[in-house]
Structure 1
Amino acid sequence: MRAPVRRHWRHAVVALLIPALLAPTLAPRAAFAQSLPSLGQSSASDLSPATERRLGERIMREIRADPDYLADLLLSDYINMLGGRLVAATRKAGLDASQSFEFFVVRDARVNAFSLPGGFIGINTGLIVTTRTESELASVVGHETGHVLQHHIARMVGQSGQNAWLALGGILLGILAGVGARSADLGLGIAMGGQGLAVDRQLRFSRDAEREADRVGFQLLQAAGFDTYGMPAFFERLQRADSINEAGVPEYVRTHPLTTERIADMLNRARNTGYRQPEQSHEYAFVRARSLVLQQKSASDYAEIANAMRSQIRTQTAASVMGAWYAIALAEYKQQHWDAAREALTHAQQAFGGKGPGTPSLVVLDSDIARASGRAEDALRLARAARETFPLSQAADMAYADALIANRRVADASQFLQQQVTRYRSEPVWWRAMAGAYAAAGKRAKQHEALAEQYALQGQWMAAVSQLKMARAAGDADFYELSTIDARLHEFERRYKEDKEEQKELKQFG
């Protein structure tokens, strides 16, 4: 991890993983009917929803600036669709979900997931890859959603008698201070997940809260139409990995200790609800394959993945043939082997068969390969079709913007991207794309302005200030644009000073 980013993590408020799935007490079978432990009601001493959100947004600025934050729109689209499906089931499950949620993916091969204050939930690529069904993945996302829905962070603060988020940051500052001593190559996952047990010991988080998150997650899984057996099946497999090879223990087992009693609790609940065949998204297999490839970091890694997938196809050991071919296509694309990528993607499309118009992962990668290999018109045609078929897909929108630029339709791309940055204000990737479009159009001031907005979303205030100063000096901004630049410049300088003051206050608690 880059040194400045690691420093931000050590002095950020908290990159908080709620240690989940601590061993619950096994209840009598007659009491299994969705009963929840009593944790009491939120009180005036708890964090308010607004404060929780503010804390979460502060942490997310740090996360978005980290190299291991995976700003891949196909993965983001899918994980937010999956999480949104669980959140949408809250009313059916008799739960209140008045707050907003944001689900994101971290490039980390370790099997882990975590929740943050304010409705932010992170999923490691390693977790996605390790699951075998969409319901298994949903069971983990549901558990973390349960922590957020039940406001466990706020209740923890209320129980400890501390009613300020600065106090919460002070408690965790000492724990996070040790992160820098570990290998920088492990990325932000260490700060969020690797210290899970230490956080639990420091905060003495209630096992009742963990049991409540388990059961809320189970309710969401059932109400959303997933296979409820996915939860005990996945955790049991991780437990077996723990017992077989201590050196290869999944990170999820380290930070979320599993017991036979906890798994039995979920298994008995699944038996009581009865089995029903879930409808699994076709996109799941491709997202799983995409996560496997994108958690790699070098050309040799991509080549190794492609070779391994080809071997699995030849030996008929691939869990999903279409997913294996997709992984090969993406790995070849990352190595700029355009013909090999196109051939593998054709195999993936054929293995997918006549299951509708395709999936976002298939059509977007098809457009990306066409654009990268110099077939700009084909790329635009494919991207336009992707947008029409999947109107809610950010990935399809980005493919369309990229294809417009490849076809030298820079003005159209700039206009389209302006709509997207308005629609997705909190996602830096759109501002980065906007900067690229302005650069292609030769609009230097606007290019620097867009980069400033990207850095601001990542909490990199001085980098944002520097970009705005370059925008002001570019010489191609009119009077009104210069006024806007100056206003944003003063705003970012103020935010930088506020952040510095917050860090000083945090150190007082450390």
Structure 2
Amino acid sequence: MFRFTKAPAFILISALLGTSVPVSSSSINDLPEIGTAAASTLSIEKEIEYGDAYMRMIRGSMPVVSDPLLSEYIQDLGHQLVANANDVRTPFNFFMIQNRDINAFAFFGGHVAIHTGLFLHANTEGELASVVAHEIAHITQRHLARSMEDQARKSPATMAALIGSLMLAIASPEAGMAAIHATTAASAQGQINYTRSNEKEADRIGIATLAKTGYDVQAMPRFFGRLADQYRYASTPPPMLLTHPLPESRITDSRERANQYPTGKKNDSNRYQLARSRIIARYAGIDSNASLDWFDRRLKRATGASKDALNYGKALVYIDTGKYEQAHALLDPLLAKDPNNRFYIDSATDLDLYEKQYDRAINRLQKALQATPNHKVLNINLANALQEAGRNSESIPILTRYTYDNPDDANGWHLLAQAQAANGRRDAELAARGELMALRGAWEKAIQFYIQASQLVEINSLDQARYDARIDQLRLARSRFANL
């Protein structure tokens, strides 16, 4: 409904430092026995702390997709897979980055990033899930931490330099990358071997997760094989093939592994096709004419739910280019056919707001909330619609609760700052903007916003006490961040 707007250091780190011991298996149930591997080098608690620091750096420097519908979709898909994974030791967070390159990566603390470009090439939800399951396995098997432990055993001096490079990368990605290159130059071949071993292990464990979740396990070798064929002679392969090498032996190994499982029964979900269409229309980095051409070519052979999803994507393009009549012609029948579909409700509300039919938008969302009370996506859209209608005071209670329940969602803080500004609450606006800065790791700005907020309210008031307490928390977070 509303939108805000090569691989960074942590991707290169994962590629360079990945390691594991290949596991021979004659049974589909044979999985690596990890035990307490890597515990002496990097505790789970410290890994989560590093992951939080990286995540804040990403928010401040990369085009993270803040679309509520897409965030809900990728989180649901990821956590469905995590529920069927083994050795889960950390919370998981799944998010998208607007980038046409085919790539996905995982890093400390259970964070998994998916490039929107991946949706251009993953034809089914099973193929996308195979990539996500692979990245989950990198985290559950603690490949980065295990590699650091291996380096510590072989070369303490190298280990110290690697840790220094990692910490430098948090504060200065370019400097961190340069340090990592220098540190690993002497043992590059060994690192390549470790990476290949990691990739095969993540494939094996990812396929097991796919099977337990009910997906067709053949989706992984099918997708990887198609990518390898497509870019076999490319002078510049996509980042995914640089950080996740696809030699023929790895593809063969994943295919043989998949053949040991029965065929999955999980059908391609309509939500995947809708999410894919939404990305093609808005986040694939192609212009409107190219998007329409993409949809039209596939509509020639599409039927059923696939056809509906493609028409939905075309409707989005028409909405975004101001062709509201064409958008209605496609979207209205879809909404009549499936009135509770949140993708359709969201887009119909877009049309309402563009056409200044504010009451219709608000009523539409309130009716949807009666069916699914307190739904995250519907609530944030309702708050936005209320603001568009000039009813800012009504949006504030919704956003106050929303930001309490979803403190890491920049959308809520952004809208709350706008609502408080329109309502004349400068102190509350500054506090909300402080939270936005904290999410990006901009601690100094966050603290300054809160100091200004504290100075605007009555001395010794509850608001001042709350702002001052938050200043103390932010200063502590800044200190921990600096100590990394």
Q: What is the alpha-carbon distance in structure 1 between the residues aligned to residue 455 and residue 142 of structure 2?
A: 47
1:295 match: 283
216, 227, 233: which one pairs with 2:222?
233
The equivalences for 1:130-145 within 5 A come to 130-145=121-136
* SS in structure 1 at match of 2:105: strand
2:79 is the alignment partner of 1:84: yes
Change (3 A) 1:279 1:37: same
Structure 1 residue 110, shift from structure 2 partner: 0.5
Q: What is the alpha-carbon distance in structure 2 between the residues aligned to residue 410 and residue 477 of structure 1?
A: 27
The equivalences for 1:232-251 within 5 A come to 232-243=221-232, 245-247=233-235, 249-251=237-239
* SS in structure 2 at match of 1:449: helix
Structure 1 residue 168, shift from structure 2 partner: 4.8
TM-score (norm 2): 0.84
2:418 is the alignment partner of 1:436: yes
State the one-letter code of the partner of 2:449.
Q
Q: What is the alpha-carbon distance in structure 2 between the residues aligned to residue 338 and residue 476 of structure 1?
A: 49
State the one-letter code of the partner of 2:342.
P
Q: What is the alpha-carbon distance in structure 1 between the residues aligned to residue 250 and residue 83 of structure 2?
A: 26
Deviation track 1:310-368 (CA, whole Å, cap 9, x = no partner) reads 64267547994323322222223333444343334236557xxx5x5543222212222
1:508 match: none
The equivalences for 1:330-341 within 5 A come to 330-341=316-327
Q: What is the alpha-carbon distance in structure 2 between the residues aligned to residue 335 and residue 201 of structure 1?
A: 51
| Bigger mean CA deviation after superposition, 411-420 or 116-125 | 411-420
2:293 is the alignment partner of 1:308: yes
Q: What is the alpha-carbon distance in structure 2 between the residues aligned to residue 17 and residue 451 of structure 1?
A: 32
For structure 2, list consecutive stretches of 5 or more residues without a partner in the other structure.
Answer: 1-5, 179-183
State the one-letter code of the partner of 1:324.
L
The equivalences for 1:123-162 within 5 A come to 123-161=114-152
1:3 match: none
Change (3 A) 1:497 1:109: same
2:36 is the alignment partner of 1:45: no
Structure 1 residue 283, shift from structure 2 partner: 0.8
Q: What is the alpha-carbon distance in structure 2 between the residues aligned to residue 339 and residue 486 of structure 1?
A: 52
Q: What is the alpha-carbon distance in structure 2 between the residues aligned to residue 179 and residue 328 of structure 1?
A: 39
61, 66, 69: which one pairs with 1:71?
66
| Bigger mean CA deviation after superposition, 479-488 or 234-243 | 479-488
1:399 match: 381
2:7 is the alignment partner of 1:18: no
2:207 match: 218
State the one-letter code of the partner of 1:291.
I
1:419 match: 401
Change (3 A) 1:285 1:385: farther
Q: What is the alpha-carbon distance in structure 2 between the residues aligned to residue 285 and residue 81 of structure 1?
A: 15
439, 443, 449: which one pairs with 1:461?
443
2:356 is the alignment partner of 1:360: no
State the one-letter code of the partner of 2:241.
V
Deviation track 1:262-308 (CA, whole Å, cap 9, x = no partner) reads 222222233221224323221101111112233356xxx44223431
Change (3 A) 1:483 1:203: farther
Q: What is the alpha-carbon distance in structure 2 between the residues aligned to residue 337 and residue 271 of structure 1?
A: 49
Change (3 A) 1:377 1:289: same
* SS in structure 1 at match of 2:15: coil
* SS in structure 2 at match of 1:103: strand
State the one-letter code of the partner of 1:79.
I
1:284 match: 272
86, 93, 105: which one pairs with 2:96?
105
256, 262, 280: which one pairs with 1:268?
256
2:468 is the alignment partner of 1:486: yes
CA contact (8 A) 1:79 1:104 kept: yes
Structure 1 residue 407, shift from structure 2 partner: 4.0
Q: What is the alpha-carbon distance in structure 1 between the residues aligned to residue 11 and residue 22 of structure 2?
A: 31
1:343 match: 329
CA contact (8 A) 2:11 2:105 kept: no
| Bigger mean CA deviation after superposition, 327-336 or 202-211 | 202-211
Structure 1 residue 40, shift from structure 2 partner: 6.5
Structure 1 residue 373, shift from structure 2 partner: 2.1
Change (3 A) 1:501 1:415: same
Change (3 A) 1:24 1:64: closer
Change (3 A) 1:78 1:389: farther
Q: What is the alpha-carbon distance in structure 2 between the residues aligned to residue 230 and residue 238 of structure 1?
A: 12
159, 164, 167: which one pairs with 1:170?
164
Deviation track 1:92-131 (CA, whole Å, cap 9, x = no partner) reads xxx2324211101011111110001110100000112210
State the one-letter code of the partner of 1:133.
T
Structure 1 residue 468, shift from structure 2 partner: 2.2
CA contact (8 A) 1:456 1:464 kept: yes
For structure 1, list consecutive stretches of 5 or more residues without a partner in the other structure.
Answer: 1-5, 182-189, 192-196, 503-510
Structure 1 residue 217, shift from structure 2 partner: 0.5
State the one-letter code of the partner of 1:110.
D
Q: What is the alpha-carbon distance in structure 1 between the residues aligned to residue 441 and residue 299 of structure 2?
A: 48
CA contact (8 A) 1:376 1:406 kept: yes
* SS in structure 1 at match of 2:117: helix
314, 325, 331: which one pairs with 2:311?
325
Q: What is the alpha-carbon distance in structure 1 between the residues aligned to residue 428 and residue 335 of structure 2?
A: 40
Structure 1 residue 223, shift from structure 2 partner: 0.3
Change (3 A) 1:237 1:275: same
CA contact (8 A) 1:73 1:395 kept: yes
Deviation track 1:361-400 (CA, whole Å, cap 9, x = no partner) reads 2221222221232111221122224334455753222112
Q: What is the alpha-carbon distance in structure 2 between the residues aligned to residue 153 and residue 37 of structure 1?
A: 16
TM-score (norm 1): 0.80
Change (3 A) 1:202 1:131: same
| Bigger mean CA deviation after superposition, 45-54 or 478-487 | 478-487
Q: What is the alpha-carbon distance in structure 1 between the residues aligned to residue 315 and residue 34 of structure 2?
A: 49
Change (3 A) 1:442 1:128: same
| Bigger mean CA deviation after superposition, 38-47 or 263-272 | 38-47
* SS in structure 2 at match of 1:246: coil
State the one-letter code of the partner of 1:221.
L
2:246 match: 258
Change (3 A) 1:256 1:373: same
Q: What is the alpha-carbon distance in structure 2 between the residues aligned to residue 296 and residue 320 of structure 1?
A: 19
